[in-house]
Amino acid sequence: MPYRDIRQFIARLDAAGELLEIDAEVDPNEELGAVCRKVLDEGGPALLFNNVKDYPYPVFTNMMGTKDRIALAMDVPLEQVGETFLGRSRSRPWPQARMTHSAPCKEVVIPEAELRLEDLVPPAVNNPDDGGAFLNYGLVVMKDPDSGRRNMGIYRLQLRPGNRTGIWSSPTSHAGTIRAKNDLRGQPTEVAVAIGGDPLLYLASQVQGLNLGDDEMELASALRGGEPVELVKCDTVDLEVPADAEIVLEGRILHGVREAEGPYGEYPGYYGPVGEQPVIQFHHATRRRSPVYVHTYIGVPPSDTHALGQMMGEAGLTAKLRNDVAPTVKEVYCALDMHTVVVALKKTYEEQAKHVIYALWATRTAKTVIVVDDDIDPRNQEEVYWAIANRSHAPRDVMMGDGFGTIGPAIDKYGDGIASKLGIDATAPLKGYPAMSRPRPEMAARVRERWGELTASKKTKLRRSG
């Protein structure tokens, strides 16, 4: 059964030995982030901070910092996560979310006159040179003004006085596109930020390769095995949010307003620079009576961001490539850096690998793309290096281009704001290449069948000396 809310997921993590509750007081200014960093580096569990200094509610972090917890979120064995995603998301149209009129997220209503954002969001500073506290793990909901279709993503929101936050979103992201459309109309962009809910909402919000108009809440319903996500109308904006969220903030991205935002320690492991970014003015909120606040630590890998980006990137890009470019894509590997993609492909025509590279270059995050044949394991670095060494000819198979990038110092290394794109076609030609020197498949199968017999003796045979 799907999880109804974040509380059910926390209980499941606890039962699986994947939760550590911390009752000692922890300062949200750097100390909480340092605890998260230590546990992430050790491959440790999710964390529930029950005593955050100057904040009245529990703070839940490292929610999906490992692949095992992502599998628990999907309620499938780890090795089935990718195929389960592809199977559940392949059938279109996705199930529509179900509307409800009463919702846990509205147990307490906070009108504009009573709203104090600092009462709802802890002043969490993850890293010492962050430009301030950030709300960084809310599900940000908007609507495309052309189609009316919902969009949901996760963006960083820097806390400001007066119930304001900044919002950083790439111009090529769906949020950036929606905001740009409204800017052209001279109007603000309505926004709702839902904190907490079914963890599959977080998964759906991070899938790469979706088109603007693909509703991530409907995708989450598909990932729930077809059981619709329950939504409720917001009170003051024309948006719908998960009914079982912990906290909901309602506001508008102000038209034409930009304020300094950053720096912020982002997923490449560097601080992003200070820049002029849009501003959200919040004017209404609702919450559960005793909410759980959901937060994430971001920095060098590993983290929630990297684990989610890797697994949902692989699933989403596999679906995109199979649907749009190459049905014979065997497997996609996204490195934890979130910009390197390796694709294993069974080529059906000679230039197909290069077409895969072009298709991935067009995505927001793919910076370096390597395409190998389907006899290469894209997760095995030595096999990939071998393919590059033996199946690529640099003048024809190494491709470079410029395009818009995302975050990280290499994006603007030379100060011109242009990101580089690299592609390597490490596939062999369909004809005229020598055969590989390896055992026949039937002989390899024979050895596998006899492996128990062949390794029955555990003695180490030493050659006599003298």
Is 436 inside any structural domain?
no
306-337 pLDDT, tens per residue? 998 898 889 899 999 999 999 999 999 999 98
Is 411 inside any structural domain?
yes
Alpha-carbon gap, residue 346 to 373, rounded angstroms:
6
Residues 102-124: what's their mean pLDDT? 97
Q: Residue 415 — pLDDT band, cuts 50, 70, 90?
A: low
The CA distances from residue 342 to 87, 145, 194, 388, 426, in Å, are: 22, 36, 34, 11, 10
Last residue of a domain, one of 289, 317, 349: 289
Please tell me the predicted confidence (pLDDT) of residue 420. Answer: 83
Residues 276 and 216 in one domain: yes
Residues 396 and 341 in one domain: yes
Q: Name the DSSP letter for residue 228.
A: P
Please tell me the predicted confidence (pLDDT) of residue 151. Answer: 97
Residues 232 and 96 in one domain: yes
Query: pTM for the whole thing?
Result: 0.89
pLDDT at 7 over 50: yes
Cβ(378)–Cβ(343) below 8 Å: yes
Please tell me the predicted confidence (pLDDT) of residue 418. Answer: 66
Alpha-carbon gap, residue 207 to 115, rounded angstroms:
33
pLDDT at 462 over 60: no
Question: What is the overall mean pLDDT for the chain?
Answer: 93
Q: Residue 435 — pLDDT band, cuts 50, 70, 90?
A: confident
Q: Angle at Cα 87 formed by Cα 81 and Cα 90, nearest 5°?
A: 130
Helix (H, G, I), strand (E, B) or coil at 310: helix
Is 311 inside any structural domain?
no
Residues 213 and 335 in one domain: no
By C-alpha distance, which of 199, 286, 162 is closest to 235? 286
In sequence order, the β-bridge partners of residue 160 are: 164
pLDDT at 19 over 70: yes
Last residue of a domain, one of 261, 289, 317: 289
pLDDT at 281 over 70: yes
Residues 30-55: what's their mean pLDDT? 96
Is 2 inside any structural domain?
no
What percent of the chain is predicted at pLDDT more than 70? 95
Q: Count Cβ atoms within 10 A of the Cβ of residue 14 and give its class: 0-12 exposed, 13-18 middle, 19 or more buried.
A: middle
Alpha-carbon gap, residue 269 to 107, rounded angstroms:
39
pLDDT at 465 over 60: no
Is 145 inside any structural domain?
yes
Residues 270 and 415 in one domain: no
Please tell me the predicted confidence (pLDDT) of residue 410. Answer: 61
Is 312 inside any structural domain?
no
Q: Residue 1 — pLDDT band, cuts 50, 70, 90?
A: confident
Residues 151-177: what's their mean pLDDT? 95
90-99 pLDDT, tens per residue? 888 999 999 9
What percent of the chain is predicted at pLDDT more than 90? 80
Number of separate domains in the chain: 2
Residues 284 and 344 in one domain: no
Alpha-carbon gap, residue 346 to 330, rounded angstroms:
7
**Token digits of residue 270:** 């560097």
Residues 156 and 242 in one domain: yes
Residues 283 and 178 in one domain: yes
Residues 245 and 158 in one domain: yes
Q: Residue 404 — pLDDT band, cuts 50, 70, 90?
A: low
Last residue of a domain, one of 289, 311, 346: 289
Alpha helices (runs of H) in 144-286, residue ranges in sequence order: 174-185, 199-205, 216-223
- At position 420, the amino acid (one-letter code) is S
Is 226 inside any structural domain?
yes
Residues 335 and 278 in one domain: no
Please tell me the predicted confidence (pLDDT) of residue 282. Answer: 98
Domain span at residue 346?
325-426
pLDDT at 36 over 70: yes
* CATH number of the domain that residue 345 is part of: 3.40.1670.10
* CATH number of the domain that residue 241 is part of: 2.30.110.10
Please tell me the predicted confidence (pLDDT) of residue 406. Answer: 56
pLDDT at 466 over 50: no
